[in-house]
Structure 1
Amino acid sequence: MTLDRRRFLRNATATATVAAGGSLLGLGATGTASASAPAPVSAPGGFPDYRHVRTLLRPEDLRYNPTGEIIFPCVRGVYDKLAKPLGRYYLYYAPHDAPGGICLAYGDSLEGPFTEYPHNPIVSNEWAPHYKVSHVSSPHVMWHAERHELWLYFHGENTTTRLARSKDGVHFTYDRAVLTTAMLPKGTTETSYARAFRHDLPGRDARYVMLFMRNDNANHRDIGWGWSADGRAWTFDPEPLIDHADVGASDVSGAHLLTRNGRTYVAYHTDKGSGGNVLLTEVGADFSRRDHLGVLYDSGSAAPENGRAAAPSFGTDGGVPYMVYEAGERLSGVIAVARG
């Protein structure tokens, strides 16, 4: 998709959503909407126009840096959930290449600074007797309100998504594998980069939704999805939720669920060759819609983005909406923050 085409889609959908009216809301750390001060609307779905603020984490500044790269941030407000948190916000991330390792940083503002947890990785690529794999990566942490726990979904290998659980967000207990390629149609080669969210689907007797990257023998990555009553046992749709070809991309990944003004959306990124931007699709409360709305965040050509913004995670700080994301070439970028 050309830059002019992306701008056209963004401006057209912005005009439509402004005309639709409705209050302007910031995004909560779980991906749901929470009240905030009005902000100019120039992105699809009535979302704020996120602008890059600064870099939060660079691989070269980290004590645990086995491969010189980090990916897939997940930010969670823990100040109202944990008794004695290290900071108001926990930022989970990981190297991808072997051995990977799930890591934690903490801070009191989503604009930073964030302090690296001194004993990273908090989850490694060997966890006896549960697994021994080449790498673990792509952490996503969900607050499970009923159990008062932080649930960590992560992959290792790329064929398997796993779950671990914690009372403090630092020390985790292994639970189980929740998604494998064997749970999807024959020919599926990858099921990874999963994020799970609290979202009711009464028609499916489900209270949680999972979004993940799926790949098959055609080697074009799509967004898959599944649903669960408890966050542990999952059912998965055999068809993609978002097909790469439907949005003019070679690959899509890094999906995040968002709700705003009673409507449900999925934000995700495209490969750099297809624009390297964060796109937005409205899926409906029951996931029956496929309204592709265009560019939510247009990556800049200058450093640190260098034409690629990926794996967005959303939250609010003092009522101000933020997006924490990968900035830069895959496996040679940084973790950055944009403000709405």
Structure 2
Amino acid sequence: MTLDRRRFLRSASAATAATAGGTLLALGEPGATPALAAPGGFPDYRYVRTLLTPEKLSYNPTGEIIFPCVRGVYDRLPTFLGRYYLYYAPHDRPGGICLAYGDSLEGPFTEYPRNPIVGNVWKPHYSVSHVSSPHVMWHAGRREMWLYFHGENNTTRLARSKDGIHFRYDKAVLTTAMLPAGTTETSYARVFPYRLPDRGARYVMVFMRNDRANHRDIGWGWSADGRTWTFDPEPLIDHAAVGASDVSGAHLLRRGGRTYVVYHTDKGSGGNILITEVGADFSRRDHLGVFYDSGSAAPENGRAAAPAFGTDRGVPYMIYEAGGRLSGVIAMARG
């Protein structure tokens, strides 16, 4: 299917959604009715501008940054540097969890002057080659920002903060030993408040998993407290089921009482962000196709990845990696 054809179908879907009074819910965030729609009735996000470029950052050990996560903090923290905190990281050693802040999801974002806020050595807890892939969840019960990040690629860790800047280490929450034998990577995790009553769960995790076949899939797990997890031994999204060599960078979305996972493919498989409906209990596997088409021009250069979502004054936004892996920027698209 051509890009123009996809956009025509999205426009038709949007008209149906608008007639039905459809709204966007980027898990836990209120949204606005989109004028255009992607599969599932989500907005047809369009690239607007670059938010962060490695060469313009003071903390730039490797010339690359990945995996943005944006959180509104103005209604959650007693004091804050800006209405929105944008977390990101280099990937290659030493990596480092970084923070930028701004008053609008349109930007501009200002680099926190003392990055990284979490490094690859945190005595006595760990000393690893790199830490990366920050995902921050607001824990309403604890009134804390919970940071999930990886380092090494076989371990996902948790740290917690009262102000979103200064974190205290908690524990490792996911390792390859918790999945079937032969698993080699468990990283790029995102965690969301989500109730699964039959499993006694209040939180769900989606993450990238790899094994000796060296084709990356999306895994998932559930937890009662966000700290101790149970993981499905089978992939949530199998790379082969969506015609890709690798999939990664998953994010959970809900709309109209339905649950979806979006994730990106490797550039060799299109470099796009895809969407799958997984059902309220994660038993469904309805692969709906392209959620976001990467453009051939800069800064995307045929690859869009690791999306995060937010809503600012009723307008939905997607913050994502644009460009080749380890040679891209953090970009913003508006719905």
Output the TM-score relative to the length of structure 1.
0.95
Q: Name the Cα RMSD after superposition.
A: 1.6
**Amino acid of the residue matched to residue 126 of structure 2?**
Y
- Preserved CA contact (<8 Å) 1:156 1:162: yes
1:206 to 187, 201, 207: 201
**Amino acid of the residue matched to residue 145 of structure 1?**
A
- Preserved CA contact (<8 Å) 1:26 1:319: no
Hey, what does 2:251 align to over in structure 1? 256
Hey, what does 1:57 align to over in structure 2? 52
Deviations 1:78-133 (A, max 9, x none): 00000111000000000000000000000000010000000000000000000000
Deviates more, 1:76-85 or 1:7-16: 7-16
Instruction: Identify the structure with bigger relative contact order (alpha carbons < 8 Å, sequence gap 6+).
Output: 1
Query: Is 1:148 aligned with 2:113?
Result: no
Deviations 1:159-183 (A, max 9, x none): 0000000000000000000000000
Q: Which runs of 5+ in 1 are unaligned?
A: none
- Tell me the CA shift for residue 339 of structure 1: 0.1
Partners of 2:99 and 2:29 lie apart in 1 by: 25
- Preserved CA contact (<8 Å) 1:250 1:271: yes
- Preserved CA contact (<8 Å) 2:190 2:251: yes
Partners of 1:123 and 1:216 lie apart in 2 by: 28
Hey, what does 1:180 align to over in structure 2? 175
- Tell me the CA shift for residue 8 of structure 1: 6.1
Percent identity for Structure 1 against Structure 2 = 77
1:283 to 278, 282, 289: 278
Corresponding residue SS for 1:230: coil
Deviations 1:313-337 (A, max 9, x none): 0000110000000000000000000
Partners of 1:45 and 1:22 lie apart in 2 by: 13
Partners of 1:165 and 1:197 lie apart in 2 by: 15
Deviations 1:13-42 (A, max 9, x none): 7756765763232445xx235142x32233
Query: Is 1:243 aligned with 2:238?
Result: yes
Hey, what does 2:99 align to over in structure 1? 104
Hey, what does 1:34 align to over in structure 2? 30
Partners of 1:14 and 1:293 lie apart in 2 by: 16
Partners of 1:9 and 1:239 lie apart in 2 by: 31
- Preserved CA contact (<8 Å) 2:24 2:34: no
- Preserved CA contact (<8 Å) 2:31 2:314: yes
**Amino acid of the residue matched to residue 78 of structure 1?**
V
Partners of 1:251 and 1:283 lie apart in 2 by: 19
Partners of 1:286 and 1:15 lie apart in 2 by: 29
Hey, what does 1:312 align to over in structure 2? 307
Partners of 2:14 and 2:281 lie apart in 1 by: 21
Corresponding residue SS for 1:34: coil
Corresponding residue SS for 2:241: helix
Query: Is 1:227 aligned with 2:222?
Result: yes
Partners of 1:113 and 1:255 lie apart in 2 by: 26
**Amino acid of the residue matched to residue 189 of structure 2?**
A
Partners of 2:123 and 2:200 lie apart in 1 by: 34
Hey, what does 1:22 align to over in structure 2? 20
Partners of 2:177 and 2:5 lie apart in 1 by: 40
- Tell me the CA shift for residue 250 of structure 1: 0.5
- Tell me the CA shift for residue 255 of structure 1: 0.3
Q: 1:291 to 1:279 in 2, by over 3 A?
A: same
- Tell me the CA shift for residue 12 of structure 1: 5.5
Deviations 1:56-78 (A, max 9, x none): 00000000000000000000000
Partners of 2:207 and 2:183 lie apart in 1 by: 13
Hey, what does 1:127 align to over in structure 2? 122
Q: 1:236 to 1:107 in 2, by over 3 A?
A: same
Hey, what does 1:77 align to over in structure 2? 72
Aligned residues: 334
Partners of 1:10 and 1:254 lie apart in 2 by: 24
**Amino acid of the residue matched to residue 152 of structure 1?**
L
Corresponding residue SS for 2:203: strand
Corresponding residue SS for 1:23: coil
Partners of 1:27 and 1:92 lie apart in 2 by: 21
Output the TM-score relative to the length of structure 2.
0.96
Deviates more, 1:261-270 or 1:132-141: 261-270
